[in-house]
Structure 1
Amino acid sequence: MCLHLEQMFETSIRAEGIDNMLTIGKYSLTNPRRLVRALSILTLGFSMSLLGITGSLAGNEPGGALEFVTVQPGDSLWDLAGEHGQDQDPRDWIARVVQLNALESIELTPGQQIALP
């Protein structure tokens, strides 16, 4: 089966001037700018979604490394903030731990595993 180039791509002439219209099968591209715009939007959307996915996989910390500890009897988030979050405001560190572990309160249960930034 041999198709000639003229059969795949046709040039149409309009009354207002010459317009190159790409025709493949029964589909024709009358405005190439539409295709470029659509492909640009799709590429941008795909790139943004890919960045969102990789950003969420990288973790919420700048270094991406989390430390996991097991809560001991008598431990509190304030104690852990003093041990593990020395370079930060304890309130900010505790808020981050609560968010990171989806804790409903700052009360800890002995034996509970929590992630620390």
Structure 2
Amino acid sequence: MTAIALAPSAPAALPAASSTRLRLTVRGRRVLAGLAAFPVAVAICFVAISGGSALASRDAGAPAGTFSEVTVMAGDSLWGIAQEVAPSADPRDVVDAIVRLNALDGVAVSAGQRLAIPAEYATTL
């Protein structure tokens, strides 16, 4: 028998690792942007829907004892009432406080209407 000597062969060359970049098509970019934006949109919707409970309502009003009441007479205006209840204060501030306390839509008042006057201005009544 003859011995066959095997010559060491050169290691097999590995294929060169190519540095391929991930290429996204326009459609792929849109899908990826949509997937990233979806949680943000859900969070905004959640905040918009559940955030309404923090809004003030006109029903609650002010706590008792923090205001006095005045009945509007024929020919009265908020400006006149403000000058009457707080002669030393700026009437614009008093009118604004009355409008906010009574949740009025504007400055128009009608005869017989009862208005709450903030305690800070009602001291002269």
Shared fold (TM-score, shorter chain, > 0.5): no
Q: TM-score, length-normalised on structure 2?
A: 0.42
**Structure ID, larger Rg:** 2
- Higher relative contact order at CA 8 Å, sep ≥6: structure 1 or structure 2? 2
With the length of structure 1 as denominator, give the TM-score of the two structures: 0.45
Q: Which has the higher strand share?
A: 1
